[in-house]
Structure 1
Amino acid sequence: MYQILKSAHSGWRYLVLILLVLAIIQALSGWLGKKPYTEGNRKVNLFTLIFVHTQILIGLVLYFLSPLVEAGIRYWKMEHIGMMIFAAILVTVGNARSKKGDDPAAKHKAVALYFGLALIVIIASIIQMTMVDPTRSFFGIS
């Protein structure tokens, strides 16, 4: 069960990254292009939120099922989980802020800012993972 969840968690990150990038591109385009905030924007943001939260849930299950003999145990038990929860909080706040107010530019700006920061945190954590455990790669499924 642990290995299946680990593979799912590792593969799911690509869906999270793709949705985050898509949501950020849409938000930047809407914000800088002064476009309206559409139902399509809302749906992409919602799906991004759902996928990020699903990834966190799988990660939390792995956190509690994890064997204590893994390389870089401190990284997995402290930094990785902390950074990922922080990224999920950023996505949640960005999505919540995009629902408030009537100004489309403010909605797009909130998504661009918070989702962008979350993407930076996630990428930094993945890069740090490859440094802690050289058997893992950014693009390879571990």
Structure 2
Amino acid sequence: MYTTVLILHSLVKWCVLLALILTLYRSYKGYFYNLPYYKIDNSIRHWTVTIAHIQLVLGIILYAQSPIIQYFWRNLKDAFYEMDIVFFGLIHFLLMCSAIIVLTIGSALAKRKLNKKDKYKTTVIWFTIALLIILIAIPWPFSPLSNRPYIRTF
């Protein structure tokens, strides 16, 4: 089951990034060009957050079963000297949870706005902050915190 969840997690993470970029593209365009707030914009906003929540559930499952995380919590004192272990044991988890919280709040606020410009503006602000948090939390191949290849082989 761990491998299946790991594969799903690897696929869904790219879906989250693509959906978030699409939402931001449409929101920036709608805000700056004063476009009407179409039903598709609302759907894309909603599905972006839904996909992010699916990714969160998969991430929590992996977090609970990961040997790296188990080592981190069993050997907390020693683990803090290894940046990769600290990154996945604490930093990555907290940042990704924060990003999901920011996305959820931004989506809820945008949904409740009556003015189309306010809907776009709220989405732009909150989703951009979430994207920045996610980009910081990703273990890019060039990251000084921890790094992984773009596409992992299992």
The two structures have a TM-score, normalised by structure 2, of: 0.83
CA distance in 2, matches of 1:133, 1:4: 23
Counterpart in the other structure of 2:63: 63
SS at match of 1:35: coil
Match of 1:65, as an amino acid?
A: Q
- Contact kept? 1:7, 1:141, Cα under 8 Å: no
Aligned residues: 140
Amino acid at match of 2:28: L
Structure 2, unaligned stretches of length 5 or more? 73-81
* Equivalent in the alignment of 1:101: 113
Q: CA deviation at 1:69?
A: 4.6
Instruction: Give the match for residue 45 of structure 1.
Output: 45
TM-superposed deviation, 1:115: 0.8
Following the alignment from structure 2 to structure 1, what is the Cα–Cα distance between the partners of residues 61 and 16? 18
Structure of larger gyration radius: 2
- Residue 26 (structure 1) shift: 0.4
Distance 1:77 1:127, change over 3 A: closer
Deviation at 1:87?
Answer: 0.5
Instruction: Output the CA distance in 2 between the equivalents of 1:60 and 1:69.
Output: 16
Given the alignment of the two structures, is residue 76 of structure 1 paired with residue 68 of structure 2, yes or no? no
Counterpart in 2 of 1:140?
A: 151
Residues 8, 131 of structure 1: alpha-carbon distance in 2 compared, 3 angstrom cutoff: farther
Query: What stretches of structure 1 move > 6 A for 4+ residues in a row?
Result: none
Structure 1: runs of 5+ lacking an equivalent: none
Other structure's SS at 1:46 match: helix
Task: Give the deviation of 1:127 after TM superposition.
Answer: 4.0
Shift in Å at residue 133 of structure 1?
Answer: 4.4
Equivalent AA in structure 1 for residue 14 of structure 2: Y
1:111 aligned residue (120, 123, 131): 123
Counterpart Cα distance in 1 of 2:44 and 2:105: 15
Measured in 2, the distance between the counterparts of 1:13 and 1:63 equals 15
C-alpha displacement of 1:132: 4.5
The equivalent residue for 2:13 is 13
Identity rate, percent: 26
Shift of 1:32: 0.7
Q: Secondary structure at the match of 1:36?
A: coil
CA RMSD of the aligned region, Å? 1.9
1:28 and 2:14 correspond: no
Q: Which has the higher contact order (CA 8 A, sep 6+)?
A: 1
For 1:108, give the aligned amino acid.
Y
